[in-house]
Amino acid sequence: MGFSSLPRELNADAYADALEFAGEHGDMVLIQRMLPWADFVPGAQVSEETANNTASEREAIDEHDLGLFFAIDVTDGATGRDRLVELPPDMAGRRFDDAAVRAAFVSYAEYVALNYKPQYLALGVEMNLYYQKNKDDWENFRSLYREAYAAVKKQSPGTQVTVTWQYEDLQGIFPREDQHFAEWELVSAWDGDVDFVGISSYPSFAYASAAAIPDVYYSQLRAFTSKPIALAEFGYSSAPGHQGLNSGTEEDQTAYLRRVLREAELVPMAFIVWFAIWDPAYARGTAFSAFQSIGLLREDDTEKPAWTFWADAAAQPLAEQ
């Protein structure tokens, strides 16, 4: 059980607090990081900022006795993951067929494997969303993933490697303009390329209440993979979202979390990561406003009802929940 390192505020002290909190109330942390392209394109050197961040994060992870799930995030979540994100100006618009993009991707994957030695590593986040918009680039990404996978294993053989899938979109139930049918075949097609199947899941974007979520919601995934399954990031909004994007109440959030804690044992799941400890106030009015009520703690640090169930479960082994 774990949390992402998403802080309550966007500053270094709040980030350190998030890592400390994750260690006190779980056994794993998710660091989801955009690829710092300028540091890893051919001929570049790792910046002082990147090196310092790595050292401080590694120290905090060790200090708080945390397992690490590191996710390399290369697509733009603000635009539906239709393009690569944070590319240098002279690389704008390039895709996975580009030599510099490919070299930087593999180089950073090696860097993370060598310097963080994560238990789990995602070489791409919610990649089915990118697939939907860039089917002609998909095989380029897949071949690049395989190159990076091999490079990671040389540096850290014990690291379990995957890509993650956005679960509601995978089922074709994610509310958006370009609605499509379920794409379970993506999971099956990648079964030989991943060490585990990681999904991100936010059912409050798709269902009016927690009670409306089907009983087989997560267990149905077992039919499409032989690999371990993990909730790489998940959450449920405790309030309605901006412009009705999602539903949610604190009671629904509690019911959903209790259900996941039970299902994590039944599926079973390798690990689960609740995305946000606190409601991120800075998400309000941005492309990520749907996440502004996703925390188990409110902005003022008070506990929502679901928190009690998380705290109780974190105090015991997953198999006993």
Domains of the chain from N-terminus onward: 2-314 (3.20.20.80)
CA-to-CA dists, residue 41 to 36, 38, 115, 299, angstroms:
9, 6, 18, 39
Q: What is the pLDDT of residue 174?
A: 81
User: What pLDDT, in 10s, does the model give residues 216-239?
Assistant: 999 999 999 999 999 999 999 999
Query: Which pLDDT value is given to residue 281?
Result: 87
Q: What is the C-alpha separation between 303 and 196, in angstroms, rounded?
A: 33
CA-CA distance, 14 to 299, in Å (whole number)? 12
Side-chain half-sphere CA neighbours of 276 within 13 A: 30
62: tokens are 């060790």
**Burial (CB count within 10 angstroms: exposed 0-12, middle 13-18, buried 19+), residue 159:** buried
Q: Could you tell me which of 116, 196, 186 has the C-alpha nearest to residue 162?
A: 196
CB atoms under 10 Å from CB of 186, counted, come to: 16
In angstroms, the CA 106 to CA 191 distance is: 21
Distances in Å between the Cα of 6 and the Cα atoms of 17, 19, 98, 202, 264 are: 10, 9, 31, 16, 23
CA 254, CA 252: separation in Å to the nearest integer?
A: 5
pLDDT digits 0-9 by tens, 142-158: 999 999 999 999 999 99
pTM greater than 0.85: yes
Measure Cα distances from 113 to 15, 213, 292 in Å: 22, 37, 32
174 burial type by CB count under 10 A (0-12 exposed, 13-18 middle, 19+ buried): buried
Please list the residues that pair with 37 across neighbouring strands. none
List strands edge to edge, sheet with 197-201: 160-162, 120-123, 67-73, 28-34, 2-4, 269-274, 229-234, 197-201, 164-166
Question: Which residue in 258, 247, 238 sits closest to 304, CA to CA?
Answer: 238
Tens of pLDDT along the chain (321 residues)? 999 999 999 999 999 999 999 999 999 999 999 999 999 999 999 999 999 999 999 999 999 999 999 999 999 999 999 999 999 999 999 999 999 999 999 999 999 999 999 999 999 999 999 999 999 999 999 999 999 999 999 999 999 999 999 999 999 998 766 667 899 999 999 999 999 999 999 999 999 999 999 999 999 999 999 999 999 999 999 998 766 667 799 999 999 999 999 999 999 999 999 999 999 988 888 878 889 999 999 999 999 999 999 999 998 854 443
